[in-house]
Amino acid sequence: MAERKKPKSAPAAAPAYPKKTIALVYDFDGTLSPKPMQEYTLLPKIGVEPEAFWAETNKIAREQEADPLITYMHLMYKKAKAANIRIDRADLVAQGAHVELFPGVEAWFAEIASYIGIRAETHGVTLRHYMISSGLTEIIEGTSIYPHFQKVFASEYWFDAYDLPYPKRVITDTGKTQYLFRINKGVEDLGQTINQHMPEAARPVPFANMIYYGDGDTDVPSMAVMRKSGGHAIAVHGPSERQRERCVDLFKAGRIDFFAEADYRRGSQLFSRTCLLLDRILADIRVQEEMWLMEQGL
């Protein structure tokens, strides 16, 4: 019988500082795309005028004291049914291709990666993109940028449970903050609870390594959590003065580090302000890493 060679034990690798992941976290509607995603997809398909649809949603939600997001998810399919249009999951995903994105969004992921990549101190740093949206997972899946995201947290339907699709997950403004903690704690599997205690030291993506992108009031709870926890937030706005003023208000209220027009192209104000924060995050990671190595006696 041939004697089996003992595998050579690998040389012990030098311990590596574990918190070198940077997370850029985005809202979708108004942040990456000019209008709510339903206005490019379901609403035109079922022939409903967006302004009237949102007004009706808000009216029902107010009168019934219902959650506005559950109300819109319900109303959308009631209207589709009334128009005799059946829309399943595959239809919604296919419609995602019609969603318009702000200038530069498609190239943004590669451009930011190349900015990080050219820096000497970025050795071992991982860059991830996450989305937290009250919009629909199915539509987002159909957009061209979907593959760039480590994880998309968004509202979603059950398609087979009832006569009308039924909300499976609804992400409200305040509910969004749960997903920031999921990124922070590394608990991205939604089947796992997020509420168990995890000491700061055990959390893989510190808030200091995160930047949140949003466009308005619905992002205030997320921005507040980011800023209170040592993270960063940027508000973006469309071209109108009214949209810009909303960002000025967020800035004056101390909700954000920066605001800029939603132009994601390299060389834009948004790009350079993001790079400023990345420079700070990268420097901070290096400082923390050096301190950590000293603690290890290295």
Residue of 154, 194, 150, 118 lying closest to 21 (CA atoms): 150
Alpha-helix runs per DSSP H in the chain: 42-45, 50-64, 68-82, 89-95, 105-117, 137-141, 176-185, 220-228, 241-252, 269-295
Min separation Cβ 29 and Mg ion, Å = 4
Ramachandran angles phi, psi of 81, nearest 5°: -65, -40
Residue nearest to Mg ion (CB): 30
Closer residue to Mg ion (CB): 122 or 222: 222
C-alpha Rg value of the chain to the nearest Å: 22
Residue of 109, 108, 50, 93 lying closest to 75 (CA atoms): 50
Chain centroid offset of residue 120 CA: 28
Closer residue to Mg ion (CB): 35 or 286: 35
Min separation Cβ 152 and Mg ion, Å = 15
Min separation Cβ 214 and Mg ion, Å = 6
Give the residues lining the site for Mg ion (CB under 5 A). Answer: 27, 29-30, 215
Closer residue to Mg ion (CB): 71 or 243: 243
Closer residue to Mg ion (CB): 125 or 247: 247
* Strands ordered across the beta sheet of 21-26: 166-169, 151-158, 126-136, 21-26, 210-214, 232-237, 258-261
Closer residue to Mg ion (CB): 138 or 215: 215
Min separation Cβ 31 and Mg ion, Å = 5
Min separation Cβ 127 and Mg ion, Å = 23
Min separation Cβ 22 and Mg ion, Å = 22
Beta bridge partners of 158: 166
Closer residue to Mg ion (CB): 180 or 282: 180
Chain centroid offset of residue 25 CA: 4
180/209 Cα distance (integer angstroms): 12
Closer residue to Mg ion (CB): 157 or 213: 213
Min separation Cβ 222 and Mg ion, Å = 10
| Contact indicator for 202, 17 with CB cutoff of 8 Å | no
Closer residue to Mg ion (CB): 29 or 138: 29
Return the sign of the alpha-carbon dihedral for residues 261, 265, 268, 269.
Answer: positive
180/205 Cα distance (integer angstroms): 10
Chain centroid offset of residue 94 CA: 21
Min separation Cβ 216 and Mg ion, Å = 6
30/219 Cα distance (integer angstroms): 11
